[in-house]
Structure 1
Amino acid sequence: METQFQKWKKQYGDLHTIWFGDMPIVTLHDAPTILETFLKDGETYAGRPYFKWDDIVRNGRNGVIFSEGERWRENRRFALHVFRNFGLGKNLMQERVLVEVTNLITDIKDEILGGKNEVSVQNAIDLAVGSIINSLTLGYRYGKEKREEFEKVKKFAQFLVAQAGKPVYRVMDNGPEFYKNFPICNSYYKYFTTEVEKVKNYFLDHIEEHRKVIDFESEEEPTDFVEAFLRHQYKQKAEGITDNYFE
């Protein structure tokens, strides 16, 4: 793909449009224009494209990445604030990473000493990265004890990424509810929505478990992002604010 972009740059210049189906994608290829556009005038280009599948996957334009406008700004500010408190860019975050590096090396050594002839370093790294992410979001690491759970979450992520590259997904993005009435599209719609429901239920169940044990009146700092979000949501609701933290 990178090679093709270079060919298009030579043919059409530093600024041109590529069409993905019926969606135009404007591409920039020289540093001064990129700097001027996204750094000096970044607010103008802060919007997000709207994919109708998001109505099924995220119940609309929700989340830190796929929302836009004031909701995106507020959620982004909140996320940065929470992660800074968790040590993002500081020694505390480095310590979290070092814990996983230490466990990664120990686990690989244990497998070798246990007589295993082939050890997948990639799988070990995936598990370590997943543990860091999960400890920040849900408050616990996977480790080899929860490898099966990690593999389940990894498959969820791989599924969602893979779908975006499928022709039937791209075609139906104009209106999944409409296209589901047609052959092939109908079976894909059932398959996709069933898998998405599994993903959503998995995370919603974890969030509900969190909600049951949180002391919403506590003044102590939250230990993970979900707890921080639920406590802030609770506080906003108590103050009558219901715009940005209720999805």
Structure 2
Amino acid sequence: MGSLVAAIWRSLNPSTLLLGALVFLVLANFFKRQRLPKNYPPGPRSVPFFGDFLLLDFKQPHLSLQKYVKKYGNVFSMEIGFWHTIIVTGLPLIKEALVHQGHKFADRPLSPIRERIFKKNGLILSNGQIWKEQRRFTLTTLRDFGLGKKSLEERIQEEVHHLALAIEEEKGQPFNPHFKINNAVSNIICSITFGERFEYQDDQFQEMLKLIDEVVHLETSLWSHLYNTFPRIMRFIPGPHQALFSKWEKLKLFVSHVIEKHKRDWNPEETRDFIDAYLKEMEKHMGNATSSFHEENLIFTTLDLFLAGTETTSTTLRWALLYMAFYPEIQEKTQAEIDRVLGQSQQPSMASREFLPYTNAVVHEVQRMGNILPLNAPRQVTADTTLAGYYIPKGTMLMTNLTALHRDPTEWTTPDTFNPEHFLENGQFKKREAFLPFSLGKRACLGEQLAKAELFIFFTTLLQKFTFKPPDNEKLSQEFRIGMTVSPVDYHICAVPRA
């Protein structure tokens, strides 16, 4: 038998093997599609193993999806890596999935990359009892440390003062605002989690911010997709995905060092910050093998807060300054309202927001146009269900099409134009139901209140102090780069101090 196999192997040439492998993959893909349940949402035919990933434009996947909405309707399916995925478009269906059937769309899918890094821990990607315990504790602790209170607002006002001084040092010359803004925004969540803020010249902290920026973009690269598709093979192959794992390890090490420092001078009677509160909770659950309160989860939950509390708000503010330089007439109108209501000396606060409807509308329009989470954070179906008459089996990944929602011509008068009037009615600010940057339902953004306060106070203060302009003889671009968020490509801008 062995000699027969050897003879057959010698008779095969590389082209025969390649053809055989191709036939096998095509057949495997055909039978995979055949196994889809009856009444499953329609969608494009997928490529073996890669699914429909290769049908998407890597530089703008959220935009290339929109042609399939036109072809297949508001609920359609795709194969993204190893995930059976449905994409849902339109406010009624998004609300149906995330609110009315929220308990059936409550989980987060865990990719092989995230499983290797986070296992099933943390706040963002955990599910079931772990997620419930971590979210409940985190919300309570954030409220204890000022979420929704005047004390946290004062921290934001203090930090934007430091940011304004750092920008003032540029003396109106072109500079890249990326890491200055990152540092300022991150300091708010750092003051809650670590009990301290970091100076803008702190080299170690600057390195951490750069690591965050790098992992945010590496996680959605082609190499990362290949790892998620072939994890057992890609684990041993060199490439940028290996750099991703080493960068995450450095971030975990940074948080571990902060935790060790807390342990050395920890006093259970005096809770200084989130880490202290978590150490106290761990002590309560000591000896309980089923508890999710342990040091590994402290590291991952802190990292989640650190990452989420920096990236989304910082990216939105970078879009805001870019849009102001692009639309000087809108910037002037915003500044005129700020001058009229606050002047140059009164600090912006959340209480002043209702007296600054145009400024508030501009902030919301930045979020709509910036569209930093174009497909929302993905969900996973926890039990077989139906949506729009289609059968959706347990384990399916759900993506909600916020790009189409935030550019829907039936909802917005000028969907593709930066226009603050979308959020105004008779000169007063108007809430819009079709505006969902923080998502909906049980897994809506935990830090929504904090993000809203940061965006309004940072933006209003910066426009109170500076006028943002493109550098002389340089044209700014609204091009973006894709990562976990959609961010503007790095740019230089002039911040001219206002008299």
Fold conserved between structures, TM > 0.5:
yes
The answer to which of 28-37 and 74-83 deviates more is 28-37
Given the superposition, is the C-alpha separation of residues 12 and 150 from structure 1 closer, same or farther in structure 2, using an over 3 Å criterion?
A: same
2: distance between equivalents of 1:86 and 1:40?
A: 32
Show CA shifts across 1:158-182 (max 9, x none): 222222222222222246344334x
Structure 2 residue corresponding to 1:13, chosen from 60, 70, 73: 73
2: distance between equivalents of 1:205 and 1:177?
A: 31
The answer to which of 84-93 and 70-79 deviates more is 84-93
User: What is the CA distance between 1:123 and its match in structure 2?
Assistant: 3.3
* Alignment size in residue pairs: 235
Corresponding residue for residue 252 of structure 2: 200
Equivalent residue letter for 1:35: K
Q: Does the 8 Å contact 1:128/1:143 carry over to 2?
A: no
Q: Does 1:54 align with 2:114?
A: yes
Aligned with 2:283: secondary structure? Answer: helix
Higher RCO (CA < 8 A, seq sep 6+) = 2
Give the alignment of 1:14-163 within 5 angstroms: 14-58=74-118, 60-112=119-171, 117-146=173-202, 148-163=203-218
Equivalent residue letter for 2:274: F
Structure 1 residue corresponding to 2:277, chosen from 228, 231, 239: 228
User: What is the CA distance between 1:63 and its match in structure 2?
Assistant: 0.1
- Over alpha carbons, which structure has the higher Rg? 2
Q: Which runs of 5+ in 1 are unaligned?
A: none
Q: Does the 8 Å contact 2:145/2:152 carry over to 1?
A: yes
Given the superposition, is the C-alpha separation of residues 236 and 165 from structure 1 closer, same or farther in structure 2, using an over 3 Å criterion?
A: same
1: distance between equivalents of 2:234 and 2:169?
A: 52
User: What is the CA distance between 1:37 and its match in structure 2?
Assistant: 1.4
1: distance between equivalents of 2:72 and 2:209?
A: 39
Equivalent residue letter for 2:157: L
User: What is the CA distance between 1:135 and its match in structure 2?
Assistant: 1.2
User: What is the CA distance between 1:145 and its match in structure 2?
Assistant: 4.1
Show CA shifts across 1:14-56 (max 9, x none): 1111222232221111211111211122121111112222343
Quick check: which one's helix share is greater?
1
Could you tell me the TM-score, scaled by structure 1's length? 0.85
Q: Does the 8 Å contact 2:133/2:292 carry over to 1?
A: yes
Given the superposition, is the C-alpha separation of residues 167 and 3 from structure 1 closer, same or farther in structure 2, using an over 3 Å criterion?
A: closer
Given the superposition, is the C-alpha separation of residues 37 and 8 from structure 1 closer, same or farther in structure 2, using an over 3 Å criterion?
A: same
User: What is the CA distance between 1:5 and its match in structure 2?
Assistant: 3.1
Could you tell me the TM-score, scaled by structure 2's length? 0.44
Aligned with 1:24: secondary structure? Answer: strand
Given the superposition, is the C-alpha separation of residues 5 and 55 from structure 1 closer, same or farther in structure 2, using an over 3 Å criterion?
A: closer
Corresponding residue for residue 463 of structure 2: none
Given the superposition, is the C-alpha separation of residues 215 and 106 from structure 1 closer, same or farther in structure 2, using an over 3 Å criterion?
A: same
1: distance between equivalents of 2:177 and 2:227?
A: 38
Equivalent residue letter for 1:195: K
1: distance between equivalents of 2:241 and 2:88?
A: 35
2: distance between equivalents of 1:141 and 1:55?
A: 31
User: What is the CA distance between 1:151 and its match in structure 2?
Assistant: 1.8
Aligned sequence identity (%): 27
Given the superposition, is the C-alpha separation of residues 187 and 124 from structure 1 closer, same or farther in structure 2, using an over 3 Å criterion?
A: closer
2: distance between equivalents of 1:130 and 1:97?
A: 11
Aligned with 2:112: secondary structure? Answer: coil
User: What is the CA distance between 1:243 and its match in structure 2?
Assistant: 1.7
Corresponding residue for residue 488 of structure 2: none
Q: CA RMSD in A?
A: 2.2
